[in-house]
Amino acid sequence: MTEIDGVLAGKSQSAGVERVVSSPLPTVYGDFEAVGYLDRTRGDEQVALVYGDIRGARGEGILTRLHSECLTGDAFGSRHCECGPQLTTALREIATEGRGVLIYLRGHEGRGIGLLAKLQAMKLQSEGLDTVEANLALGLPVDARDYGVGADILHDLGVRSVRLMSNNPRKREALVRNGIRVDAQVPLLIPPCDDNITYLRTKRERLDHDLPHLDAVVGHRV
């Protein structure tokens, strides 16, 4: 891991975010730099994990993951979703690439409805509703996430274009809308299990996620 031509040193402001601190972060996946930001609009604390010299590539074609916070999947290993394996796979892929960025988007729990509401929605799913129906039954948005802060962070880091690790077309659209070119969308396909196949199929059928690997799985309802 090398410092990015001083871009990580000190504080800065870019649109709606303020870079507060940068610190080395050795992990089991490799040695990252953790860059801490304050979202000046929402007040959320955000972090970008930067690997390698992204400025050496003129900030173009940078392998990037915008990862929505998911306590149950990321920390507790929930099999209800694929978030935990997506996080670890993205970090491994970035380290293998030799440079890249993972932005961990806090405030995105449960597609933006919050932890307690997400748990309520999960309870409704265990009773037969799908993930879309559960949010609506609670009187909440299907997806309340805003990826603009991710684009602001990329701008601050000097990233001009990305190869985006995502199956969600809305992430690509949000980055382009906020001035980040998406050179390619890189699939992040995690093998499904009995506990999440219905959830994943709902994401494909009702939320437009690109999940072609689910076609090979039979014996479960949509």
List the structure tokens of 56: 């050496």
Token look-up 């970090």 returns: 91
Rg, the chain, Cα only? 17
Question: How big is the CA angle at 25 (ends 21 and 27), to the nearest 5 degrees?
Answer: 155
The two tokens of residue 187 are 């699939």
- Classify residue 215 as exposed, middle or buried by CB count within 10 Å of its CB (0-12, 13-18, 19+): exposed
Tell me the pairing of strands 62-68 and 161-165: parallel
**From the candidates 39, 74, 130, 143, which is the catalytic residue?**
143
Give kind and range of the element (H or E) at residue 50: strand 45-51
Q: Is 145 considered catalytic here? A: yes
181 flagged as catalytic: no
Choose the catalytic residue: 99, 111, 145, 201: 145
Q: List the catalytic residues.
A: 143, 145
